[in-house]
Chains A and B, each alone.
Chain A
Amino acid sequence: DAGVIQSPRHEVTEMGQEVTLRCKPISGHDYLFWYRQTMMRGLELLIYFNNNVPIDDSGMPEDRFSAKMPNASFSTLKIQPSEPRDSAVYFCASTVNQNTESFFGQGTRLTVV
């Protein structure tokens, strides 16, 4: 298996623009997580899905952020409109169940100018 695949690896956008980050989890993994990493706050959970259903979105910072998982092999994280404070590395991770580790993608480095 190719692991968790995220795209793009790097994204530079202007303030006010819409940004969409994409993730393909490992096949057979029922749980998908979106994390954000910043220098100030470290790694934080934004939202996670179980069998394509959002379970906990309490970490989503505000209404500008939304996430979807239309099927078992694809998820998106959208920021609209983007702001400079959204600049961070966004990770997607997946896992089979509680007894297994989470596997991470390589992250998307987002820069909003």
Chain B
Amino acid sequence: GAGVSQSPSNKVTEKGKDVELRCDPISGHTALYWYRQSLGQGLEFLIYFQGNSAPDKSGLPSDRFSAERTGGSVSTLTIQRTQQEDSAVYLCASSLEAVKNIQYFGAGTRLSVL
């Protein structure tokens, strides 16, 4: 696609429910990243994918968070048993493997946990 696509753009859920956030990176970008942006905070790194594998999951805040990537393309971030502190904008970015720091961001998914 022309850019990084994320869905849904907004998600409202009840505390304790599971949610899935989707990211479709730029075609040809093998590196994919998830960040979280909470109100008044900077972007917080969550996870990095190199192809379908995730060599760095160090930013995932708890074991309720997981992510996968299939076919070297679409990635899904899953949050189980959501808590109110999970409310944030979840941003996905992708890049060429050779130029990892030049990252292109999607519009994000705004998650609200009631």
Q: Say whether A and B bind each other.
A: no
